[in-house]
């Protein structure tokens, strides 16, 4: 499985821990995030991750910033991307099961580091339920 990951300055430590965890589990990880705590603009790191997901170059994306809202809003501008803000294991499960999310957005300022790693583990191991949820997913894209 291949995963692209991106982060701004609020998520550097989280990105490093998540990346280490994924590599130990045998995943290939594309790192598009900053490696410092110096202030940066999150869209610069979101678009490469969302493009990888949009073009099916990766199985999933992971984005990390302070609240996760900015990265989710930016990623969801890409066609075929369903980025969900995940701050608990239960929300993460529902994001995958009901929404077939393909990008996990983690709020670094509102989750503990170990919790963020658990969120990623839950995200990548939870399957989409399909069924009644599929028709809703089909209605997400705007047909222009």
Which residue in 63, 122, 60 sits closest to 92, CA to CA? 122
Known active-site residue 65: yes
Residues in the chain: 144
Q: Choose the catalytic residue: 65, 86, 104, 105.
A: 65
Q: Choose the catalytic residue: 47, 78, 86, 98.
A: 98
Known active-site residue 86: no
Q: Measured between alpha carbons, how far is 75 from 68 in angstroms, rounded to an integer?
A: 11
Q: Measured between alpha carbons, how far is 80 from 78 in angstroms, rounded to an integer?
A: 6
Residue positions annotated with a catalytic role? 65, 98
């Amino acid at each position: 499985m291949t995963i692209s990951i991106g982060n701004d300055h609020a998520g550097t430590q989280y990105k490093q821990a998540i990346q280490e965890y994924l590599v130990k589990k045998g995943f290939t990880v594309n790192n598009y995030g900053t490696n410092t705590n110096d202030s940066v603009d999150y869209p610069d790191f979101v678009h490469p991750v969302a493009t990888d997901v949009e073009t099916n170059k990766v199985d999933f994306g992971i984005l990390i910033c302070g609240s996760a809202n900015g990265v989710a809003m930016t990623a969801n501008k890409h066609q075929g991307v369903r980025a969900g803000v995940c701050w608990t294991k239960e929300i993460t499960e529902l994001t995958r099961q009901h929404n077939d999310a393909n990008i996990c957005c983690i709020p670094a300022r509102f989750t503990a580091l170990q919790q963020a790693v658990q969120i990623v583990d839950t995200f990548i191991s939870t399957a989409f339920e399909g069924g009644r949820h599929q028709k809703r997913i089909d209605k997400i894209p705007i047909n222009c």
